[in-house]
Amino acid sequence: MRIGQFQEPFSLDEVISSNYETFMEQALPANTFSPSRSGGVMVYGTAVDERATWAAGVFRPLEDDNTASGSTGYAFTGRVTWSPWYEDEGEKAAHLGFACTYRDHEDDTVRFRQRPSLHMGEYVVNTDYIPSESDYRLGLEAALVLGPLAFQSEYIHTQVDREDAGSVSFGGAYAQASYFLTGEHRNLDTKKGSFGRTSPHNNYRRGGGIGAWQVAARYGWVDLKDGGVDGGTLNDITLGLNWYLNPNMRFMFNYVHAGVEDGNGGSYDGDVDGVGARFQVDF
C-alpha cells in the first residue's frame, strides 16, 4: 500500500521516469490526458512470476492538474500490465497494458490542452473550460524489445459527461521506434510495468569507450473536437538522438515537426517546427 502524493497508475509513457524516457517530452496523448501526481492511497502488487502488475487507488487531484481548472473532486484509477515474453535478461521482451480512470468534477469544469512535443512551446489546441460532471479515460499500451530495436505505442480515449449537452469524446495515440547503434537495449522492468535505466556497454571516457548512442522516431496525435467543442487537432513527428555517456549522464537532441488544424477554436492553423536539447545528470 502507498499513501501520499505520487504518480497515478495510468499510461506507460506517464509512469516511465523522465530520467529514462526516450524523448525529451512525453507523447501527445499521454501529456494531454494522463493524470499526474495526486494525493491518495493505492494498493498494488505483482503476479505470474512477477511478469504481471496491478494497481488501483483513490486520489484527490491537486489544483495544478493539467486537465483541471481546480480541484476535480475524487478520482478512481487503476492499471494492469503483463509481459508475455521476457528472455535473455530483457534483450527480448514484450509488454501489454490497460488503464482506466474515473474523475468527478467537483468544480463542474474540465479542460484539455496541448502544445507540440517541446515543453517551452505555446498551447496550440485547447478545449477551453467545459461545463461537466465527470469524465472517464481508457488507455491501451504495448511495447516490444528486440535487442537494440524497440517499439512502443498507446491509445487513450476520453469521454466527458457534460451537464446539459450530452457527452463528448476526445482521443489520441502515438507510435515510436528506437534503435541503439552501439548494441544496448531498453530495460523493461516487469515488476513495475515500465522501462528503467539503460547502461552503456562501454562508458564514455577519454581515449576509451564511446558510451551508448540511440536514434528514435515518434508520431503522435490528439483530437480535441467533438459535439460542438472545437479544441482542434494536433499531430507531430519527433526525431531524437541520445548519447549516454554512462548510466547517469546523457545528452538528448529532439527535432519536432507539428501540424495544427482548427486549434484553439479555429484561431490557430498551420505547422510548427522546433528543436530541443538537454544535458541530463540523474542520481
Structural domain tally of the chain?
1
Instruction: Examine the pLDDT at 148 and tell me if it is beyond 90.
Output: yes
pLDDT tens figures, 14-61: 999 999 999 999 999 999 999 988 999 999 999 999 999 999 999 998
Give residue 72's pLDDT: 65
Give residue 141's pLDDT: 98
**In 3D, which of 8, 7, 6, 13 has the Cα closest to residue 141?**
13
Of 73-87, 97-111, 209-223, which gets the smallest average pLDDT? Answer: 97-111
Give residue 207's pLDDT: 79
Give residue 68's pLDDT: 53
What average pLDDT does the structure give for the chain?
93
Grid coordinates standing for 249? 549522464
Give residue 265's pLDDT: 78
pLDDT tens figures, 84-112: 999 999 999 999 999 999 999 887 889 99
Instruction: Examine the pLDDT at 71 and tell me if it is beyond 60.
Output: no
Domain extent, residue 84, equals: 2-281
**In 3D, which of 209, 181, 210, 184 has the Cα closest to residue 195?**
184
Q: What's phi and psi for 24, nearest 5 deg?
A: -65, -35
Instruction: Examine the pLDDT at 184 and tell me if it is beyond 60.
Output: yes
Instruction: Examine the pLDDT at 63 and tell me if it is beyond 80.
Output: no
Determine the average pLDDT of the residues in 198-211: 91
Give residue 135's pLDDT: 93
Nearby residues of 137 by Cβ (< 8 Å), 6 or more positions away: 10, 33, 100, 101, 103, 156, 157, 158, 159
Higher-pLDDT residue of 265, 138: 138
- Distance (Å, rounded) from C-alpha 120 to C-alpha 112? 17
- Distance (Å, rounded) from C-alpha 61 to C-alpha 38? 5
- Distance (Å, rounded) from C-alpha 163 to C-alpha 145? 44
Contact in structure between 263 and 124 (CB atoms under 8 Å): yes
- Distance (Å, rounded) from C-alpha 78 to C-alpha 76? 7
Give residue 66's pLDDT: 52
Give residue 65's pLDDT: 52
Bridge partners, residue 234, by sequence = 222, 260
Grid coordinates standing for 42? 493505492
pTM here is 0.94
Q: Using DSSP bridges, classify how beta strands 229-246 and 188-189 pair: parallel, antiparallel or unpaired.
A: unpaired
- CATH number for position 187: 2.40.160.10
pLDDT tens figures, 110-144: 999 999 998 888 899 999 999 999 999 999 999 99
Nearby residues of 139 by Cβ (< 8 Å), 6 or more positions away: 10, 11, 33, 34, 79, 97, 98, 99, 100, 154, 155, 156, 157
Residue with cell 524497440: 150
Tell me the C-alpha to C-alpha distance, in Å, between residue 119 and each of 74, 125, 254. Answer: 28, 14, 12
Grid coordinates standing for 51? 511478469
